[in-house]
Structure 1
Amino acid sequence: MYYSADIGVIGGSGLYELSKDVKKIEVDTPYGKPSDDISLVKAGAKTIAFLPRHGKDHTLNPSEINYRANIYALKSLGVKAIISPCCVGSLKFEIKPGDFVVTDQFINLTSGRKDTFFEKPKVNHLSSAHPYDQKLRVLAMETAKECGITAHFGGTVVVINGPRFSTVAEGRMFTIMGADVVNMTQYPEGYLCLEQEIPVVNIALVTDYDAGLEDHPDIKPVTNDDVIQVLNENSEKVKTLIFKLVEKLEV
C-alpha cells in the first residue's frame, strides 16, 4: 500500500509521539532502516509523518542515528517540509532553560557520521550557507509568539558527537566560536534535508546551560535529571507549537 504525508516531524529527546491516534508504518530505504516506524498523524486536512529521532524508547545515541535513512524515508512519503525540534544547552545567560530558539546556522564538530547522499557515481557540492528555510523560520517564530512561548529568532547551534555533555573548556571554545547553543543531532540532519531539497526548520528547546556559565558561578553544569525536568515541563508546548505551525504551512 502506498502512503504519503505533507509534513515531516522528527522528534527529539522527550518527544517520542505526537498523538495516540496514529497509523504506524515501516519504511525501508537504500540506506537501511530509519530510527523507528513512522507515525502518520492527521492534522486537519494535512498528514504529518512523525519519526522519533532516537527511537521510541530512546535507544539510539546521537552518533548511532541513521540520519540518511530518516531523511530519505520522509522524502519517500512526499513531505514538502520538515520540522526538526531538538533539545539544546545554552551558552548565553539570556537564553534560558525553557526558552525556544529558532536557529539559523550550525557549526559541525561531529565526526564519523554518514553525512551525504552524494556518493559515487553522483558527487555534488552543495552550498549550505543558509541551512534553515527562512520562510519556515518566520512562521515558527510567529507561531511561538501566538503560543505565548519565549523564543529567540536566530542563533547558531554547535553540534557535537555526544552523548556526553561538554567540558567547561569546550563550552568556552564554543562561545568564542560564536555559538549560542549546543546540540548533538542537528548535523547532518539539517544538511541532508538540503540535499533532498526539503525545506527544514529547527525549533530548539533550551533544557540547560550545558557546562555551566563561567561568568555566573551559581549556574552549575547540567545533569540528566535537569534535562528531564525541563522536557517534562515543556513537552506539551512543543506539541502545541508543532500542530499550530503545521496549520500555517501551505503544501
Structure 2
Amino acid sequence: MDAKYAIIGGTGVYEAGAVEEARDVQIHTPYGDVQLTVGTYGGQPVAFLARHGRAHATPPHKVNYRANIYALKEIGVEQVLATAAVGSLLPGMRPGDLVLVDDVIDMTKSRISTFFDQDQVVHVDMSDPYCTRLRKNLQTTAESLGYAMHFGGTYVTAEGPRFETKAEIRMFQRLGGSVVGMTSMPEVALAKEAELCYATVCMVTNFAAGMTTNALTHQEVVDTMQQNVEKIRTLFYEFIRSDDDTRTCPCPHAVGGQAPLRREDA
C-alpha cells in the first residue's frame, strides 16, 4: 500500500482524478480512521485525501488534521501536495490566480496543533514551513506547463467556518498576509513534525472582505475552484511524474527522528 506522494484536496477538490488502479482504503490511526484513495500515476504510487470529505461535510475547524497526517505517514508518504481555496489580501492576487505560498500566520483558536502533547516536549523549527525544495520543483513544473503563478506569499489561517470581518482583513494585511484561508494550520505544522515535505498551492477564489462591495458566498468559492481544479491536478501529477524522488531538504530530519510514526516501526 506504500505511496510516497500524497495529494490533499481542499474545497472543490474531492476526487483523485487521473490516478490509475484507484482503490479506497481505510487507515486506522491513534487519532481516528482516515479514508484514502490510493493508486498510481506515471508509475508512481499516489495517495489522495479529501480534507473535508467527498461530500464536503467536515468544516475546517473540525478536520482531524492529526489523523490525516498520521495516516499518510503510516502508508509511507514522504511528499505532500495540498490545495487550498483562499481569499486574496492583495489587489495583485486576483480570483483565478494560483499562489505557491512560502510562509504562514496561525490565527486559529481551538485546534490541536501538535503530535507532541504528552510524554515528551518537541519544538519543531517552522522557519521554512513549506518545503523549499518541493516549492522550487513545483515552480519549475508550473513554468514548464506555461502556468502563471505567484511564487511566494503568506497564508493567514483563520479559524472559520465563518468568513472574516473587514477589520480582521485589515489586520491580516498589516501583518503581511497575502491570502487568507482556514486549513493550512495546523496541517503544515503537523506535516513538519511528521518529517514530511509539504507544499500548498492556493487557488484565489475571491477578494477578502472589504476589498469589494460584493458579499462573499461559499458557492462562489466552490465555483471558482471547480473551474480550475484540473489545472491544479495537472500541475501536481506532472510534478509527480517527473520527480526523481530525492529529498535533499531538511524535512526528513525536522524533529531529529522523533516523528510520531517511523516506518521501521510500522
What TM-score do the two structures reach when normalised by structure 1?
A: 0.93
Q: Is the 8 A contact 2:17 2:233 kept in 1?
A: no
The equivalent residue for 2:85 is 87
Tell me the distance in 1 between the aligned counterparts of 2:218 and 2:110: 25
The equivalent residue for 2:249 is none
The equivalent residue for 1:55 is 53
The equivalent residue for 1:146 is 144
Aligned positions, number? 243
Cα RMSD after superposing both structures: 1.3
Structure 2: state its 5+ residue gaps. 246-266
- Pick one of 168, 171, 177 that aligns with 1:170: 168
Counterpart AA for 1:209: F
Q: CA deviation at 1:59?
A: 0.5
Does residue 245 of the first structure (1) align with residue 239 of the second (2)? yes
Tell me the distance in 2 between the aligned counterparts of 1:248 and 1:76: 24
Q: Is the 8 A contact 1:5 1:40 kept in 2?
A: yes
Report the 3-state secondary structure (helix = DSSP H, G, I; strand = E; otherwise coil) of the residue aligned with 1:189.
helix
- Pick one of 39, 56, 73 that aligns with 1:75: 73
- Pick one of 94, 97, 113 that aligns with 1:96: 94
Tell me the distance in 2 between the aligned counterparts of 1:95 and 1:86: 15
Q: Is the 8 A contact 1:99 1:149 kept in 2?
A: no
Equivalence map 1:1-251=2 (5 Å) = 3-19=1-17, 21=20, 22-34=22-34, 37-213=35-211, 217=212, 220-251=214-245
Q: Is the 8 A contact 1:212 1:221 kept in 2?
A: no
- Measured against aligned partners, the alpha-carbon deviations of 1:63-118 in whole angstroms (never above 9, x if no partner) come to 11000000000000101111111111000110011111110100000011111011
Q: CA deviation at 1:30?
A: 0.7
Q: Is the 8 A contact 2:153 2:178 kept in 1?
A: yes
Q: CA deviation at 1:166?
A: 1.0
What TM-score do the two structures reach when normalised by structure 2?
A: 0.88
Q: CA deviation at 1:249?
A: 2.2
Tell me the distance in 1 between the aligned counterparts of 2:70 and 2:207: 33
Tell me the distance in 2 between the aligned counterparts of 1:176 and 1:68: 31
Q: Is the 8 A contact 2:113 2:190 kept in 1?
A: yes
Counterpart AA for 2:28: D
Counterpart AA for 1:131: P
Q: CA deviation at 1:222?
A: 2.2
Q: Is the 8 A contact 1:210 1:221 kept in 2?
A: no
Q: Is the 8 A contact 1:33 1:66 kept in 2?
A: no
Tell me the distance in 2 between the aligned counterparts of 1:161 and 1:94: 25
Structure 1: state its 5+ residue gaps. none
Residue identity (%): 38
- Measured against aligned partners, the alpha-carbon deviations of 1:164-207 in whole angstroms (never above 9, x if no partner) come to 11111111110001000001000000010110100111111111
Q: CA deviation at 1:56?
A: 0.8
